[in-house]
Structure 1
Amino acid sequence: MPKEFGRSARVSSQMQKELALILQRDIDDSRLGFITINEVVLSKDLASAKIYFTVLNSDEQGKKSHVKRLNEMSPLIRHLLAKKMQLRHISELKFFYDDSFDTGMRVAELLSNANKAATPEKDENDTL
């Protein structure tokens, strides 16, 4: 009987939870703001991890600076992660900004505008 979730999926799920806690509690950098870890994608051999995150209320320049700052702090974050997870080897961490939320908000805005334009407004003088 095949397993529903393989080891890679379980490790990435646990890593996502631990990274969120580390960034919230252990990293004391006020420049980071409120970061949400959206997804952790591990390689098959668990040697590298791509971490996708979003930041609340940040512009393009802020997003780029967050990616740069997190990738610079990657060794420290990896060290803290190694203390919390019970693995022989901890993956190399690479942070990426996840723009899917921004894209979704933009699509929702466009659909809302298209819906408003498509529905004719009723005149008060129109009666049946």
Structure 2
Amino acid sequence: MAKNFTRSDRIAQQLQRDVAELIRAELDHPKASLITVTDVEVTRDYSHAKIFYTFLGTAEDTIAIGVKLENAKGFLRSALSKGFKLFKMPELHFVYDHSVENGMHLDSLIQQAVSQQALDDEGDA
């Protein structure tokens, strides 16, 4: 059975690839290569695109990267428009994605619970 992808899904996927490449190649920040674009959501009328990203670094660096991305929105939008055949290029909105941090925190809690259970089982034996 064929999967039905909407045009906005295909545009979001292409935006994700192109934005990630532009950030790595063109963003003027020494740690720009540590940015990962995790997802892109495009509105139905293609006027706005939410770009979710993560960054592996300190909290201060994360804030600096967020500011840098906000300042580079116009440049990134302009560069993206050269490769897209859209009536209007979506306005870019960068959103920090906390899901990776939440996943790592949950993983550490699970590991802690498993090790505590193992200690309890050894104590009972």
Q: CA deviation at 1:32?
A: 3.1
How many residues are paired up? 122
State the partner residue of 1:83: 82
Q: Render the CA deviation track for 1:101-128: whole Å, top value 9, x for unaligned.
A: 00000000011001100113648xx7xx
Which structure: greater helix fraction?
Answer: 2
Q: Render the CA deviation track for 1:6-54: whole Å, top value 9, x for unaligned.
A: 1111100010011111111233332534111000111111101110001
State the partner residue of 1:46: 46
Residue type at the aligned position of 2:35: I
State the partner residue of 1:9: 9
Q: CA deviation at 1:72?
A: 1.0
State the partner residue of 1:18: 18
State the partner residue of 1:68: 67
Identity of aligned pairs, percent?
27
CA contact 2:38–2:53 (8 Å) conserved in 1: yes
Return the TM-score normalized by structure 1: 0.85
Q: Which runs of 5+ in 2 are unaligned?
A: none
Distance across 2 between alignment mates of 1:77 and 1:6: 24
State the partner residue of 1:113: 112
Distance across 1 between alignment mates of 2:8 and 2:52: 16
Return the TM-score normalized by structure 2: 0.87
State the partner residue of 2:35: 35
Residue type at the aligned position of 2:98: D
Q: Render the CA deviation track for 1:52-88: whole Å, top value 9, x for unaligned.
A: 00112x1222222211210111000111111122222
Distance across 1 between alignment mates of 2:31 and 2:3: 42
Helix, strand or coil: the match of 2:22? helix
Larger radius of gyration between Structure 1 and Structure 2: 1
CA contact 1:71–1:95 (8 Å) conserved in 2: yes
CA contact 1:33–1:55 (8 Å) conserved in 2: no
Q: Which runs of 5+ in 1 are unaligned?
A: none
Residue type at the aligned position of 1:86: K
